Amino acid sequence: MNNNINGILNEALNKLQSAQLADIENIKVEYLGKKGKITEILKTLSSLSIEEKKEIGSQVNVAKTQLNEAMEAKKKEITNKLLEEKMKNEKIDISPAFSFNFPKGHYHIISKAIEEMSNIFISLGFNVTSGREIENDWYNFEALNIPKDHPARDTQDTFYLENSENLLRTQTSAAQIHIMEESKPPIKVIVPGRVYRNEATDASHSAIFHQIEGLVVGEDITFAQLKGTLQLFINRLFNQELPIRFRPSHFQFTEPSAEVDMKCVFCGGKGCRVCKGSGWIEVLGCGMVHPNVFRAVKYDPEKYTGYAFGLGVERFAMLKYGIDDMRVLYENDLRVLRQF
Ligand code: DAH
């Protein structure tokens, strides 16, 4: 190849080596453009012989092709490098491509309340079991020291199942009997579950509602332990110290029996609409397991003592979440549910 052409080509290739993307276009103009250094060579050919013209012309073409190819290769090299850099630094979040914008579901208020309350008892060493919703007279009444014809039955309007001995449990207390029949002390258990009563629905009643039953049986179980457990439970559930008080009461399956009031969580005891001015709210029933209940499950009442309690889930949920009408819990209005 003509030295001149060779020299120009090498000069161009040298420049190309250190070129950036924008420089390549300039090099192209400088060497291959209309007035480019290689193009100019062709213009000097007029004085040469045909042979020489052919020879140099083809050399120029070779040089052009070589430079063009070198420029393309350089372009590729630079863009690849840029791309590589970009990939290294760039994080692309592809998760939106795979996610659908469905609103997230969550537990119903009642389930949430049961879970929260159960967790407190679990932290105090209680086991959890669920009992049965279909019971018979023995478990729901008789073994709980509520004989046939006893007026205590009238307070729990019962749904009886047709053509059967069975009924829908009116109280989770029925589970106490199963638990004691099936195991030996020490027992420390709660039973959350649904119960049924043949009642009209209003702001504080429902034919289907939920209770949590508690049962602790052992050789030295005392009323003081019952009191301590319930006080801790209330304080934890409401995240504050809320004194409780025990009022003497009567349940067939406990002796002595008590109803428990807690300081009103809304007014702190000053008296308000919710506590009807008394400063106290009745929240649950409890007592020491009646010897007749132990006899029914063939436990020795001389050897064992125990305490039991039963609380209404809806009542606690309403107090905790500030709901003043029980029906709200069952209507499942999404505008309400979404608030919890
Ligand atoms: N079963 C009772 C009811 O449904 C609540 C209750 C009271 C449960 C005292 C107990 C208890 O375990 O000791 O009204």
Instruction: Please tell me the distance from the alpha carbon of residue 41 to that of residue 170, in angstroms, as a whole number.
Output: 109
Q: How buried is 78 (Cβ within 10 angstroms: 0-12 exposed, 13-18 middle, 19+ buried)?
A: middle
Other CB atoms closer than 10 Å to residue 217's CB: what's the count? Answer: 25
Segment 309-333, tens digit of pLDDT: 999 999 999 999 999 889 999 998 9
Do 203 and 325 sit in the same domain of this protein?
Answer: yes
280-289 β-sheet, strand order: 127-128, 187-196, 208-218, 305-312, 280-289, 254-263, 244-251
Instruction: Please tell me the distance from the alpha carbon of residue 230 to that of residue 217, in angstroms, as a whole number.
Output: 16
Q: Which atom of ligand 1 is nearest to the CA of 211?
A: 4
Average pLDDT over the chain, rounded to an integer? 92
Mapped onto helix, strand or coil, the DSSP state of residue 300 is coil
Contact 266, 274 (CB under 8 A): yes
Mapped onto helix, strand or coil, the DSSP state of residue 260 is strand
Q: How buried is 95 (Cβ within 10 angstroms: 0-12 exposed, 13-18 middle, 19+ buried)?
A: exposed
Segment 36-79, tens digit of pLDDT: 888 888 888 888 888 888 888 899 899 999 999 999 999 999 99
Backbone angles phi, psi at 172, to 5 degrees: -70, -10
User: How much distance in Å is there from the Cα of 239 to the middle of ligand 1?
Assistant: 25
Do 190 and 67 sit in the same domain of this protein?
Answer: no
End position of a domain, from candidates 58, 89, 120: 89
User: How much distance in Å is there from the Cα of 309 to the middle of ligand 1?
Assistant: 6
Do 181 and 271 sit in the same domain of this protein?
Answer: yes
User: How much distance in Å is there from the Cα of 324 to the middle of ligand 1?
Assistant: 23
Domain assignment present for 36: yes
- The set of long-range contacts for 77-84, using a CB threshold of 8 Å and a minimum separation of 24, is 78/20, 78/21, 79/21, 82/21
End position of a domain, from candidates 39, 59, 89: 89
Instruction: Please tell me the distance from the alpha carbon of residue 57 to that of residue 287, in angstroms, as a whole number.
Output: 115
Whether 140 lines ligand 1, by a CB cut-off of 6 Å, is no
Domain assignment present for 319: yes
User: How much distance in Å is there from the Cα of 61 to the middle of ligand 1?
Assistant: 104
Segment 71-83, tens digit of pLDDT: 999 999 999 999 9
Domain assignment present for 97: no
Domain housing 149: 109-337
Contact 288, 256 (CB under 8 A): yes
Do 125 and 256 sit in the same domain of this protein?
Answer: yes
Dihedral, CA atoms, 204, 205, 209, 215, nearest 10 degrees?
80
What is the pLDDT, as a whole number, of residue 285?
A: 98
- Substitution candidate for ligand 1 out of 146, 155, 171 with most atoms within 8 A of CB: 171
End position of a domain, from candidates 61, 89, 117: 89
What is the residue with the minimal CA distance to atom 12 of ligand 1? 309
Q: What value does the mean pLDDT take over residues 160-184?
A: 95
Dihedral, CA atoms, 115, 120, 123, 126, nearest 10 degrees?
-80
Q: Which atom of ligand 1 is nearest to the CA of 310?
A: 8
Cα-based angle 337, 339, 340 (whole degrees, multiple of 5): 75
What is the pLDDT, as a whole number, of residue 90?
A: 85
User: How much distance in Å is there from the Cα of 73 to the middle of ligand 1?
Assistant: 87
Whether 36 lines ligand 1, by a CB cut-off of 6 Å, is no
Do 123 and 77 sit in the same domain of this protein?
Answer: no
Whether 171 lines ligand 1, by a CB cut-off of 6 Å, is yes
- Substitution candidate for ligand 1 out of 286, 292, 316 with most atoms within 8 A of CB: 286
- Substitution candidate for ligand 1 out of 154, 168, 170, 173 with most atoms within 8 A of CB: 173
Segment 188-233, tens digit of pLDDT: 999 999 999 998 988 888 999 999 999 999 999 999 999 999 999 9
Domain assignment present for 98: no
User: How much distance in Å is there from the Cα of 267 to the middle of ligand 1?
Assistant: 27
Segment 95-150, tens digit of pLDDT: 777 777 777 888 999 999 999 999 999 999 999 999 999 999 999 999 999 999 88
Mapped onto helix, strand or coil, the DSSP state of residue 283 is strand
Whether 314 lines ligand 1, by a CB cut-off of 6 Å, is no
Do 209 and 124 sit in the same domain of this protein?
Answer: yes
Residue 175 structure tokens: 């589970």
Domain assignment present for 102: no
What is the pLDDT, as a whole number, of residue 2?
A: 62
Do 309 and 190 sit in the same domain of this protein?
Answer: yes
User: How much distance in Å is there from the Cα of 179 to the middle of ligand 1?
Assistant: 16
Q: Which atom of ligand 1 is nearest to the CA of 287?
A: 13
Residue 137 structure tokens: 């007279």
Q: How many domains does the chain have?
A: 2
Do 114 and 56 sit in the same domain of this protein?
Answer: no
What is the residue with the minimal CA distance to atom 8 of ligand 1? 310
Q: Residue 213's domain is classified under what CATH number?
A: 3.30.930.10
Whether 173 lines ligand 1, by a CB cut-off of 6 Å, is yes
Residue 35 CB partners (closer than 8 Å, separation 6+):
none
- The set of long-range contacts for 331-338, using a CB threshold of 8 Å and a minimum separation of 24, is 332/108, 337/108, 337/109
State the pTM of this model.
0.71
Domain assignment present for 104: no
Instruction: Please tell me the distance from the alpha carbon of residue 313 to that of residue 110, in angstroms, as a whole number.
Output: 7
Segment 12-40, tens digit of pLDDT: 999 999 999 889 999 999 999 988 888 88
Do 219 and 297 sit in the same domain of this protein?
Answer: yes
Residue 155 structure tokens: 């307070």
What is the pLDDT, as a whole number, of residue 122?
A: 98
User: How much distance in Å is there from the Cα of 321 to the middle of ligand 1?
Assistant: 23
Q: Does residue 3 surpass a pLDDT of 70?
A: no
Pick the range with the lowest mean pLDDT from 79-88, 229-238, 243-252, 299-308: 79-88
Do 50 and 143 sit in the same domain of this protein?
Answer: no
Domain assignment present for 74: yes
Do 68 and 117 sit in the same domain of this protein?
Answer: no
What is the pLDDT, as a whole number, of residue 337?
A: 87
Domain assignment present for 95: no
User: How much distance in Å is there from the Cα of 123 to the middle of ligand 1?
Assistant: 22
